[in-house]
Amino acid sequence: MHKFDLINEFKTRDLIAQVTNEEKLIYKINNGNVSLYCGFDVTADSLHIGHILPLLCLKRFQDAGHKPIVLIGGATSLIGDPSFKISERQLNSIELIDAWKESISNQISLFLDFNLNFNSAMIVNNYEWFENLSLLQFLCTIGKHFSVNKMINRDAVKKRIIRTDTGISFTEFSYNLLQAYDFYVLYKKYKVILQIGGSDQWGNITSGINLIRRFYSDETFGLTLPLLTQKNGVKFGKTEKNTIWLDKNKTSSYKFYQYWVNISDFDVCRFLKFFTVLSILEINAIASVNSSLELNKSKLFLAEYLTKMVHGENALKAAKRISSCLFYGDVFSMKESDFFQLEQDGIPSIKISGFLSLKQLLVDSHLASSRTQARHMIESNSVTINSIKQNNEMYVLSNNDVIFNKYTLLSRGKKTFCLIHWI
């Protein structure tokens, strides 16, 4: 991507929520290579899919010749950002956060190039400059530049203050100053002039811009991205039960793939703009076709594109193979590792010792609420064992129904499954 097209490309892809001094930022980008950063607090041992958008935006800047820096919040993770949070986040120890950093750094390398001549990506940790910064030094040099009046009038803070059940601690209240200081340090050390982040970070970003101006009288910039939610209002990357992680040991490649396959029709073109390199013309062409078939093709494209990017070609092949085998009745083509993914988080599973009657197994697996309902299901030809229909209500499972000496796939209808792990 040519640097002259970058901000316009962001706008046509609806990637900009807010931006400071857009004209001057465009001039800076068009007339040189800039350094920019995005911060990630360490709240788990893996990033989740809500982090993909800012990382891909950093990549778009890098592809245009600019230098991306990822700040890992080794220090700020100990505090917790109160921005639009209902209650204070549980704080983790320094040792635990330090242990998580390496796996997160490895995930970041999936998106950014660390081996270029002049604009290689960098990862920095703000614990480096906060570790030996005394409280007195911080208050005297940084704290005096912030007005408490303005800080308590920020929307995120006001919403917490009025809550009598949680309120806001001084620890969280100070987070704004710490993130502002991050921007100041990165400007001072690496001439970083742009910070990007989610739209909930606008107040923190502008605080950093104002702090730098007080010390250097120079202009720096902020650009926020849309804070993604699904059509139902649920925060992007979350399901009713859990988070969709980038680590395949926390979210299997199959479940990761299926998340994208099952996004709503409403989100298809929006996500193609955000997450892929498809041109706007191609995406608009998809949007103009009011066809569920075309939308489903686009969902598959998105699922394949992102699964390959995050988990690799072999994991994508496995996810597609599992999907095909499950929904097109070819269970015997699955590998043992595929069953392991399903047991991990792909479909409901139970462990059972000793063979049971089919009716009892349907009840134990919660595919039927009673043996009577199980009998009706079997008689109506809606039950399969390893993709083979079974209509004998007296059927008792045996070794003939076991795959890889441990698994049996039981289903009700075409889309409701339970994996039996015999022990």
Q: Is 43 assigned a catalytic role?
A: yes
Q: Is 376 assigned a catalytic role?
A: no
Q: Name the catalytic one among 45, 63, 98, 200.
A: 200
Closest CA to 44 of 104, 86, 88, 107: 104
Q: Name the catalytic one among 137, 166, 171, 239.
A: 239
Q: Name the catalytic one among 3, 48, 67, 412.
A: 48
CB neighbours of 20 closer than 8 A, spacing ≥ 6? 206, 209, 221, 222, 223
Q: Is 389 assigned a catalytic role?
A: no
Q: Is 229 assigned a catalytic role?
A: no
| Ranges of H-type helices in 20-169 | 22-30, 52-63, 94-108, 127-130, 135-141, 148-152, 155-161
Unique residue bearing structure tokens 């009700």: 412
Q: Name the catalytic one among 13, 20, 43, 345.
A: 43
Residue 344 DSSP class:
I
Question: Is residue 175 within 8 Å of residue 201, measured between CB atoms?
Answer: no
CB neighbours of 94 closer than 8 A, spacing ≥ 6? 74, 78, 127
Q: Please report, in range form, the residues annotated as the binding site for L-tyrosine.
A: 37, 175, 179
Q: Is 20 assigned a catalytic role?
A: no
Q: Is 220 assigned a catalytic role?
A: no
Q: Is 372 assigned a catalytic role?
A: no
Q: Please report, in range form, the residues annotated as the binding site for ATP.
A: 238
Q: Is 206 assigned a catalytic role?
A: no
Antiparallel, parallel or unpaired: β 407-412 and 192-198:
unpaired
Q: Name the catalytic one among 12, 18, 60, 85.
A: 85
User: To 10 degrees, what angle do helices 52-63 and 268-275 make?
Assistant: 50
Q: Is 2 assigned a catalytic role?
A: no
Question: Is residue 151 within 8 Å of residue 157, measured between CB atoms?
Answer: yes
Q: Name the catalytic one among 12, 45, 89, 308.
A: 89
CB neighbours of 290 closer than 8 A, spacing ≥ 6? none
DSSP letters, 241-299, are S-B-BSSTTTS-HHHHHHHHHT--GGGHHHHHHHH----HHHHHHHHH---HHHHHHHH
| Ranges of H-type helices in 81-123 | 94-108
Q: Is 224 assigned a catalytic role?
A: no
Question: Is residue 92 within 8 Å of residue 77, measured between CB atoms?
Answer: yes
Closest CA to 180 of 262, 81, 287, 281: 81
Catalytic residues: 43, 48, 51, 85, 89, 179, 200, 235, 238-239
